Amino acid sequence: MALAYYQALHGSFVIVGKSPDGDSVRFIADNPAGYQSIYRAYRIEPARDGSVQLRFEGIDAPEVHYGKAAQPLGNAVRDSLLARLGFTNVVINPNETVLSATPDRISGWILTKGVDANGRPIAYVLPDTATLTDGEATLVDEALLKQTINHELTVRGLVYYTVYTSTPALHRHVLRAAAAEARANLLGVWAVDCTSRYRLESQADLEPGEQGQLILPKLFRRSTDFLKKPDGAENLKDWLLSKATGSRPEDDLVLICGHIEVPLSQLVVQQNQYVLFQADTLDIVFVEK
């Protein structure tokens, strides 16, 4: 069972010269040695300024820049996150890089216990006012979890509930409940979510614009990669099956309702130009790679 103890690290969130999105910003720890006690710390590669890219625990925001692809609401959710962190007067160029902001960095906290396959600490994010001790292993109980920006974004419906086997069971329960309420009230992404049935003929079907549909970001990334069709796959399901192994497997393993393990491809049905996703996104847990 995933443990609920996380390393508390104090530092600064930085966005100028960076390309943040709705669930990922760069963070400069006051004491980078604090990372050394977390799982797979060797994968962290700080930039010249000492910043590392975070992956927010338990959530997935509409994509702002998956390569050259993006999703509906991606920019709006990113802007909401930056405002919540305390940044104002944010100027962003067409390449989604922040040119200027007030202030240029903001102090705050992260809680992390591991690093993902891409070298990003998987983190809960909290404002500077949080009562934590830098470098201390901290039990993230329900009360502390509800103080995180991750939880707040979920409550507001700005992000999708997306958890992994590395996410403690208590956290899954709390975040799922918040997402379920946001969905019931059709907040944010839930007002326009098309994950259960979406058209997939071209990239325009998934991007901002009149015909663009918003779907679970994980599924968006897989669908975007499929549309490149380097191997000539005829549909998303077959493409996922063909990508089950190799250096970059994309047929993710998921747990349904906490105990039935299936590949993502088993949840996908192609119906002419439409994809049917045959699971409730609140009932799936991705197996951490």
Q: How many CB atoms lie within 10 A of CB 43?
A: 14
CA distances from 125 to 6, 12, 121 (A): 12, 11, 11
In whole angstroms, give the CA distance from residue 25 to residue 77: 13
Beta strands in 74-199, from DSSP E residues, in sequence order: 88-92, 98-102, 105-115, 121-127, 137-139, 160-161, 163-164, 197-199
In a domain, 165, yes or no: no
220 found inside a domain = yes
Using alpha carbons, select from 83, 101, 105, 124 the residue that is nearest to residue 13: 105
Look up the CATH number of the domain holding residue 76: 2.40.50
131 and 36 together in one domain: yes
> Are 210 and 107 in a shared domain?
no
- Residue 145 is inside which H or E element, if any? helix 142-145
Q: How many CA atoms lie within 13 A of 86 on its CB side?
A: 14
Same domain assignment for residues 12 and 135: yes
- Residue that finishes a domain, picked among 140, 157, 174: 140
In a domain, 176, yes or no: no
Specify whether 17 is located in the same domain as 132.
yes
* Residue % of the chain over a pLDDT of 90: 90
pLDDT digits (tens, 9 = 90+) for 40-65: 999 999 999 999 999 999 999 999 99
Whether 246 maps to a domain, the answer reads yes
Which residues span the domain enclosing 107? Answer: 5-140
The answer to the question of residue 157 being in a domain is no
Tell whether 170 is covered by a domain.
no
Contact of 53 with 120, CB cutoff 8 Å: yes
**Within a domain: residue 173?**
no
Closest CA relative to residue 81, chosen from 52, 101, 51, 111? 101
Q: How far is CA 216 from the centre of its chain?
A: 10
On whether both 109 and 224 belong to a single domain, the answer is no
Whether the Cβ atoms of residue 203 and residue 226 lie closer than 8 Å to each other: no
Report pLDDT for 232. 64
Tell me which of 140, 170, 202 is where a domain ends.
140
Same domain, yes or no: 202 and 268: yes
13 vs 110: CA distance, rounded Å? 10
How many domains does the chain divide into? 2
Each residue's pLDDT tens digit, 166-210: 999 999 999 999 999 999 999 999 999 999 999 999 999 999 998
For residues 122 and 199, state if they share a domain.
no
Whether residues 96 and 199 share a domain: the answer is no
The average pLDDT across 130-139 equals 98
Query: Higher model confidence: residue 153 or residue 288?
Result: 153
pTM over 0.75: yes
In terms of domains, do 11 and 122 share one? Answer: yes
Question: Of 77, 112, 140, which residue sits at a domain end?
Answer: 140
Average pLDDT value for the chain: 95
Do residues 17 and 128 share a domain? yes
pLDDT of the residue at 248:
76
pLDDT (tens digit per residue) in 264-279: 999 999 999 999 999 9
Q: Is residue 282 part of a domain?
A: yes
Residues 18 and 135 both lie in one domain: yes
- Please give the pLDDT value at position 160: 99
Does the structure show a pLDDT above 70 at 231? no
The per-residue pLDDT for 258 is: 77
